[in-house]
Chain A
Amino acid sequence: MGSPRPRRGRSRWLEALACAGALLLLGAGPRSGYETMTPQLRAMQDDDLSNPGMLAVAEGEALFAREGCAGCHTAEAMRGVAARYPALDRASQAPIDLSGRIAQCREKRQQRPPLPREGPAMLALTAFVAHQSRGLPLQPDPRLAEARRQGEALFRERRGQLNLSCAQCHDDNAGRRLAGSLIPEGHPNGYPLYRLEWQALGSLQRRLRNCLVGVRSEPFPPGAPDYVALEAYLVARARGLLVETPAIRP
């Protein structure tokens, strides 16, 4: 009879502990690549006039009107979309990323020829749509549990001649230096982004390909579902980080 009392006391204790744990976790929560950039690069990203990615956003805005997207969508309705991608495509019941969705609209709803995935037009449209979510927190699509699981397995799998997993660099050694490069936590919240090394805007898949080739492994073929699965995991791992598109990275 008397026993529930102390137990409730104990569970409140545990609850408090759990809260403290959650706070601790928050304190050690995901850090955007932005945080570890030099002040100069951060300033470049912050100032729309000096951020070269904004040229692509402007180009994307023009394409959005010129290519007929505006016939069905408003720019305002695009706010928040990128923050919850990749998403589940209802028709195929498969995960789809933002560029994949735009390609679907163009090819299936407009019956127009495909745009090359990494070409300037698709990058600009994706940057424009994603830019509408700048400042909003990433909210992983709860329906993508299976893809996230696959993505996490890919993230933890050692690969390539150097036999390294993504996790060995981005979880275990983030903040350390790989020769001259600071290893970031590897978050997807700025894409498409302007990378100084590329001297161009590029997609998340291009970035992932760089890392895959960096460990001398065979990159997945362009557009492969493995990239979307990885992205689904990366987004869950980065939950709560703010969309930065178009970000700058070194």
Chain B
Amino acid sequence: MRAFLLGALLLGGAAAAQPMVAGDAIPGSLTGAPGDAARGRAIVLDRQRGLCLLCHAGPFPEERFQGDLAPSLAGAGARLSEGQLRLRMVDGRRLNPDTIMPAYFSTEGLRHVGRAWQDRRLLTAEEIEDVVAFLATLRD
């Protein structure tokens, strides 16, 4: 029980740390470790977790319904560095205050959030790293 609580506190503490922004990027991994691109791919395609295909299309010919509110994810890893992708995922409002892309790792400024989602980030630090690792593989 005690170990469990401690674990929860540590996790909470790690997640609460502010990622270091440098210019238009967050150069360092949020977890201190590289992400897993295969897990990242699953998150990007998952319509409940990643939600990316609501707005984006991408090089996923097997996916039937892809959005067109945003640029295609194809080539994202060639256009942007991992650090740039990370800041885009953590809080794109830092690049464009009017962006419609949700901030996946920030609850700052959110209003009228549904009870089930209150004070919860869209993705965890590990998941952000997995998605960044996957996006970095999208080179053309």
Interface pair B53/A179, CB less than 8 Å apart: yes
Which chain B residues border A178 with CB–CB below 8 Å?
54-55, 67, 69
Determine chain A's interface SS by DSSP, over half rule: loop
Interface pair B114/A180, CB less than 8 Å apart: no
Any chain A CB within 8 A of the CB of B136?
A: no
The 8 Å CB contact of B69, one of A158, A160, A176, is A176
Determine chain B's interface SS by DSSP, over half rule: loop
Any chain A CB within 8 A of the CB of B1?
A: no
Interface pair B114/A216, CB less than 8 Å apart: yes
List the one stretch of A4-12, A112-120, A161-169, A233-241 in contact with chain B: A161-169
The 8 Å CB contact of B113, one of A157, A160, A173, is A160
- The size of the chain A interface, using a CB distance under 8 A, is 21
Interface pair A161/B67, CB less than 8 Å apart: no
Any chain A CB within 8 A of the CB of B122?
A: yes
The 8 Å CB contact of A218, one of B51, B66, B114, is B114
Interface pair A161/B102, CB less than 8 Å apart: yes
Name A residues whose Cβ lies closer than 8 Å to a Cβ of B: 157-164, 168, 172-173, 176-180, 213, 216-219
Name B residues whose Cβ lies closer than 8 Å to a Cβ of A: 47, 51, 53-55, 64-69, 100, 102-103, 107, 109-117, 120, 122
Could you list 15 further interchain pairs (A-B, Cβ under 8 angstroms) beyond the known A160-B113, A178-B55?
A157-B112, A160-B110, A161-B107, A161-B110, A161-B113, A161-B114, A161-B117, A163-B103, A163-B109, A164-B100, A173-B100, A176-B68, A180-B65, A218-B114, A218-B115
Closest 3 A/B residue pairs (Cβ): A180-B65, A161-B117, A159-B112
Please list 8 pairs of residues, one from A and one from B, whose beta carbons are closer than 8 Å in the complex, sorted by A's number: A158-B111, A162-B51, A163-B103, A163-B109, A168-B100, A178-B69, A179-B67, A217-B113
